[in-house]
Amino acid sequence: MAENKGILVCGELANGKLASITTELLGCGRKLADDLKEDLSCLLASDAVGGASKEAIAFGADKFYSVEHPTFKEYQADSYMQAVEKLVKEISPRAILIGQTSLGRDLAPRLAFRLGTSLTTDCLDLSIDPATKLLIQKRPVYGGNAQAIFTSELMPQVVTVRTKAMSPLERDDSRKGEVMPTKIDIDTSKVRTKILETVKEEAVGIKLEDAPVIVCGGRGVGGPEPFQTTLKALADLLHGAVGSSRPPADNGWVPEAAHIGLTGKIVAPDIYIAIAVSGASQHTAGCSGSKHIIAINKDPEANIFREAEFGVVGKYEEVVPAFTNKLKELLAG
């Protein structure tokens, strides 16, 4: 087998454009490729790749591979894997970077096991060991209560990267890259699953991932109603969105789409207001990238105060309405 060289990013599209995670992977991949003095490639499998080739190159890719097939309209592992597996065998990359997204969580373990290599999921940091040229892979473990560094000598080295953990490069449309011809046939008879229906459940209003302000409620909120009243009033005032830690989502107080944390959404707003959230590491894993964290909790020992910049110790039922009213006054004045 040929020597493994170069970095391959498995890209994703969001609303017809390169997803932000893919620009982040390209930013990180560019640095790794430069350190190795090797190429950075990007693969996109979609029913319509459109202008993503130009975008991928502008964000750092040297080579762009696209596989267009109607079956990629909605991700299904058994068709998608065919494209990735064939391209990987053709170009033998040293490392494969995939987003720790809905798609990446489903794809990456299958790919690593199929290729007989290893995988490190949910990486926060990646670098090249100058002596061995191996990828140094840092990820949180024990629900975020510790971090670990992994390496593997098996090629290709496969990793998934947490969203918002890496910075994209500035878009530069003058960058040069090559759009590579790809001929990959997809055998649809090998697809063992069938999507019968896709149902949108997202709450109306600003999407959590895009909101500049997030008001997040925890187990201590006590029930579904305050999410619709006390918390929503504060979020509306600040043009923000309402989220939750895991217990409210598990209890059905809010839809699963509102869940922020290790197994929910990863967000990084300007302002994150945690209300009656204890601050378990599994939750803070989803919000620690926020610029300013503000905590309101009746327990002065709550872990969330270790993450927050400003805090109030008190029952949220008393603190939050007064906070909202005063804010309204200050914003009006």
Task: Pick one of 34, 48, 132, 149: the residue that binds other proteins (CB under 8 A).
Answer: 149
Q: Which is nearer to other proteins, 182 or 282 (CB)?
A: 282
Judged by CB under 8 A, does residue 127 bind other proteins?
no
Closest distance of CB 57 from other proteins, Å: 27
- What's the distance, CA 223 to chain centroid? 28
Task: Pick one of 40, 186, 235, 312: the residue that binds other proteins (CB under 8 A).
Answer: 312
Q: Which is nearer to other proteins, 176 or 192 (CB)?
A: 192
User: Do 289 and 164 touch, CB atoms closer than 8 A?
Assistant: yes
How many positions of this chain bind other proteins (CB under 8 A)? 89
CA angle, 110 then 115 then 117, to 5°: 95
Question: Which residues from 259-298 bind other proteins, rule CB under 8 A?
Answer: 262-263, 265, 270-271, 279-282, 292, 294-296
31 closest CA partner among 160, 167, 123, 142: 167
Q: Tokens 């918390």 appear where?
A: 231
User: Do 271 and 291 touch, CB atoms closer than 8 A?
Assistant: yes
CB atoms closer than 10 angstroms to residue 162: 24
Question: Which residues from 152-211 bind other proteins, rule CB under 8 A?
Answer: 152-154, 192-202
Q: Which is nearer to other proteins, 172 or 299 (CB)?
A: 299
Judged by CB under 8 A, does residue 228 bind other proteins?
no
User: Do 41 and 95 touch, CB atoms closer than 8 A?
Assistant: no
Q: How far is CA 231 from CA 222, 243, 274, 282, 284, in A?
A: 12, 9, 10, 22, 19
Give the binding range for other proteins (CB under 8 A) out of 45-53, 54-62, 133-141, 168-176.
133-141
Contacts of 265 (CB under 8 A, 6+ apart): 208, 209, 243, 257, 259, 286
Question: Which residues from 3-62 bind other proteins, rule CB under 8 A?
Answer: none
Task: Pick one of 35, 90, 106, 178: the residue that binds other proteins (CB under 8 A).
Answer: 106
Q: What Rg, from alpha-carbon coordinates, does the chain have? A: 22
Closest distance of CB 66 from other proteins, Å: 23
Q: Which is nearer to other proteins, 68 or 209 (CB)?
A: 209
Closest distance of CB 308 from other proteins, Å: 5
Give the binding range for other proteins (CB under 8 A) out of 49-57, 59-67, 116-124, 173-181.
116-124
CB atoms closer than 10 angstroms to residue 44: 26
Site string for other proteins, 84-103 (x = CB under 8 A): -----------------xx-
Closest distance of CB 100 from other proteins, Å: 9
Closest distance of CB 178 from other proteins, Å: 32
316 closest CA partner among 223, 247, 190: 223
C-alpha–C-alpha distance, residues 55 and 171, integer Å: 8
Task: Pick one of 132, 145, 167, 228: the residue that binds other proteins (CB under 8 A).
Answer: 145
- The type of residue at 313 is V
Closest distance of CB 22 from other proteins, Å: 15
Return the SS3 of 89: helix
Closest distance of CB 219 from other proteins, Å: 11
